[in-house]
């Protein structure tokens, strides 16, 4: 409280906000963020090396093993803990006997890939809409605000179903899901970008740039976008795990990724009736999903505080996202 004020008065110059060094220093200083970064790196590695890992195990995600499940009792995996064995590290899927480890690592690809693509799309749309709304006149701003309202109020489910209906079935489903999530989830970023743009627009250095003779696009490029990078990155790193959850939710509801492509949400959707008969089948993707999202969230928090040590209270974000998937 008084400290900041006094320190400032005392001439204590704050560490500069620019430059990469303090960012990395601050990020490294947070042990939780470091651990999270390692976990995330590991997950990305798993996703990238999925076929390799499954190969090491000697399994693939699609082969049926009818002999590994007890057909008479509804297809429960034979053996304890869902059939965990030297051949099947995480056991096998009920009914089909497909190898769970192979499916889970392949699922990582889909889950992370879809979320990454969706996040990128959200950032692009969000920044675009936010910038145009922030820079445009009142009419443009109002129109875009209304469009944003519509998007916010539209259930993801309906969009997903609509899109599934319109897009030919041959179209790769993960791409489609990424596009859908991207199309419905950009309002947060656009709101932030718009607000920041409006705030920045009134700053004197932007006025000065205008007086220098630059046009709108040049001003956006030179004065606004660099300043928007920090809040956008901060928001995006928290959107990423949220998007993983949205993908899982859509798949869970049966409008997302379709078998045989494994994704964690889709595995959960298959597993949800098995909570009594084969709990490991449910727990494995659930835990992975949890760990991934947690690691990404912690990392996102770290990045956020490292980008702007005082951001915590300024950017109240990551709050409504998850429930949006729920609505």
Partner 1 sequence: MRQPSVISRRVAAAAAVLVVAAGAAACGPQDSKDSDGNSGAAGTPRKGGTLTVLNSKPQEDFDPARLYTSGGGNVPSLVFRTLTTRNREDGAAGAKVVPDLATDLGTPSKNATVWTYTLKDGLKYEDGTAITSADIKYGIERSFAAELSGGAPYLRDWLIGGADYQGPYKDKKGLDSIETPDAKTIVFHLNKPEGEFPFLATQTQTTPVPKAKDKGTKYEEHPISSGPYKVVRNEGDGERLVLERNPHWSAATDEERKAYPDRIDVRSGLDSAVINQRLSASQGADAAAVTTDTNLGPAELAKVTGDKKLAARVGTGHFGYTNYIAFNPKVKPFDNPKVRQAISYAVDRSSVVNAAGGSSLAEPATTFLPDQKAFGYTPYDHFPAGKSGNAAKAEELLKEAGYPKGLTVTLTHSNDKDFATSPEIATALQEALKRAGITVKLQGLESNDYSDTVYNVKSEPGFFLGGWGADWPSGGPFFAPIFDGRQIVKAGYNFNSAQLNDPAVNKEIDEINQLTDLSAAAKRWGALDEKVGEQALTVPLFHPVYKRLYGEAVKNVVISDWTGVLDISQVAVK
Partner 2 sequence: MKWFLLRRLGGALFVLLALSIVVYAAFYVAPGNVAQIACGPRCSPAQVAQVSGQLHLGDPLYMQYAHFLQGLFVGRDYSTGTGVLHCQAPCLGLSYQSDQQVTELILAKLPATASLAVGAFVLWMLLGVGTGLLSVWRRGRLTERILTGITLAGMATPVFVIGLLLIIILVTALQILPFPDYVPLTENPEQWAWNLLLPWISLALVSAAPYARMTRASMLETLAEDHVRTFRAYGVSERALVGRHALRGALAPVIALGALDIGSMFGGAVLTESLFGIPGVGRELVDAVKHVDLPVVVGLVLVTGFFVVLANAVADILQAMADRRVVLA
Partner 3 sequence: MSLVEVSDLSISFGDVRAVEKLSFSLEAGGALGVVGESGSGKSASAYALLGLHRGTGARVDGSIRVAGVDVTAADDAELRALRGAKAAMVFQDPLSSLDPYYAVGDQIAQVYRVHNRASRRLARARAVEVLDRVGIPDAVRRSRSRPHEFSGGMRQRALIAMALACEPQLLIADEPTTALDVTVQAQILDLLHNLRRETGMGLLLVTHDVGVAAESVDEVLVMQSGRAVERGPVGEVLVAPREPYTQTLLAAVPRIPARPAASDEKPAADRGEVSVNGEELVGTEPLVEAVDVRQVFGRGKSTLAAVDGVSLTVRRGETLGIVGESGSGKTTLGRMLVGLLEPTSGRLTRRARVQMVFQDPVSSLNPRRSIGESVADPLRASGERDEAVIRARVRDLLKRVGLDPEQYDRYPHEFSGGQRQRVGIARALAAEPELIVCDEAVSALDVTTQAQVTALLAQLQRELGLALVFIAHDLAVVRQVSDRVAVMRRGRIVEEGEVDQVYGDPRDPYTKQLLAAVPALDPVLAAVRRAARKELAAA
When CB distances are held under 5 to 8 angstroms depending on the partner's kind, the choice from partner 2, partner 1, partner 3, none that residue 259 binds is partner 1
What sign does the dihedral 299-301-304-309 (CA atoms) show?
A: negative
**Burial class of residue 146 (count of CB atoms within 10 Å of its CB; 0-12, 13-18, 19+):** exposed
Q: Is 297 in the site for partner 2 (CB under 8 A)?
A: yes
Coil, strand or helix at 99? strand
Q: Is 2 in the site for partner 3 (CB under 8 A)?
A: yes
Nearest to 239 by CA among 113, 119, 109: 119
Q: Is 17 in the site for partner 3 (CB under 8 A)?
A: yes
Nearest to 228 by CA among 255, 252, 197, 258: 197
Query: What string marks each residue from 248 to 287 as x (binds partner 1 by CB under 8 A) or -?
Result: ------x---xxx---------x--xxxxxx---------
Query: What string marks each residue from 138 to 167 as x (binds partner 3 by CB under 8 A) or -?
Result: ------------------------------
Give every CB contact of residue 270 below 8 A, 6+ residues apart in sequence.
Answer: 93, 259
Q: Is 171 in the site for partner 2 (CB under 8 A)?
A: no
Tell which one of 48, 136, 253, 308 touches partner 2 (CB under 8 A): 253
Q: Is 326 in the site for partner 2 (CB under 8 A)?
A: yes
Tell me the C-alpha distance between 302 and 306, whole Å: 6
Tell me the C-alpha distance between 278 and 196, whole Å: 50
Q: Is 23 in the site for partner 3 (CB under 8 A)?
A: no
Q: Is 318 in the site for partner 2 (CB under 8 A)?
A: yes
Q: Which span (71-79, 81-89, 189-197, 292-300) binds partner 2, by CB under 8 A?
A: 292-300
List Cα–Cα distances, 89 to 81, 92, 105, 282, 326, in angstroms: 11, 9, 12, 15, 33
Q: What letter does residue 11 receive in the DSSP assignment?
A: T
Tell me the C-alpha distance between 21 and 27, whole Å: 10
CA atoms within 13 A on the CB side of 15: 12
CA angle at residue 316 from 143 to 237, to 5 degrees? 90
**Interacting residues with partner 2 between 142 and 161 (CB under 8 A):** 146, 149-150, 152-155, 157-159, 161
* Residue ranges in contact with partner 3 by CB under 8 A: 1-3, 5-7, 9-14, 16-18, 203-205, 207-214, 218, 222-223, 226-227
* Residue ranges in contact with partner 2 by CB under 8 A: 1-2, 4, 32, 146, 149-150, 152-155, 157-159, 161-163, 165-166, 241, 245, 248-249, 252-255, 268, 272, 275-276, 279, 282-283, 286, 289-290, 293-294, 296-298, 301, 312-313, 316, 318-320, 322-327
């Amino acid at each position: 409280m008084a400290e900041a004020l006094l320190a400032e008065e005392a001439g204590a110059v704050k560490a500069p906000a620019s430059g990469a060094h303090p960012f990395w220093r601050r990020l490294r200083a947070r042990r939780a963020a470091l651990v999270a970064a390692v976990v995330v790196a590991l997950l990305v590695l798993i996703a990238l090396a999925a076929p390799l890992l499954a190969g090491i195990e000697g399994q693939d995600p699609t082969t049926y093993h009818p002999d590994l499940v007890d057909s008479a009792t509804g297809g429960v995996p034979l053996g304890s803990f869902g059939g965990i064995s030297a051949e099947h590290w995480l056991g096998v899927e009920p009914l089909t006997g497909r190898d769970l480890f192979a499916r889970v690592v392949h699922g990582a690809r889909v889950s992370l890939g879809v979320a990454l693509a969706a996040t990128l799309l959200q950032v692009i749309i969000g920044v675009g809409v936010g910038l145009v709304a922030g820079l445009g006149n009142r009419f443009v701003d109002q129109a875009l605000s209304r469009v944003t309202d519509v998007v916010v109020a539209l259930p993801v489910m309906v969009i997903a179903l609509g899109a599934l209906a319109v897009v030919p079935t041959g179209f790769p489903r993960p791409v489609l899901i990424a596009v859908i999530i991207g199309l419905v989830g950009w309002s947060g970023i656009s709101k932030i970008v718009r607000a920041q743009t409006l705030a920045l627009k009134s700053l004197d250095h932007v006025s000065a740039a205008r007086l220098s003779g630059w046009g709108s696009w040049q001003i956006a490029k030179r004065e606004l976008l660099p300043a928007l990078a920090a809040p956008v990155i901060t928001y995006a790193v928290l959107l990423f795990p949220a998007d993983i959850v949205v993908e899982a939710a859509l798949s869970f509801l049966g409008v997302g990724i379709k078998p045989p492509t494994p994704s964690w949400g889709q595995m959960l959707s298959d597993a949800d009736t098995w909570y009594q008969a084969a709990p490991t089948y449910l727990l494995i993707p659930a835990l992975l999903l949890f760990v991934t999202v947690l690691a990404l969230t912690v990392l996102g928090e770290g990045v956020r505080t490292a980008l702007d040590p005082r951001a915590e209270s300024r950017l109240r974000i990551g709050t409504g996202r998850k429930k949006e998937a729920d609505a």
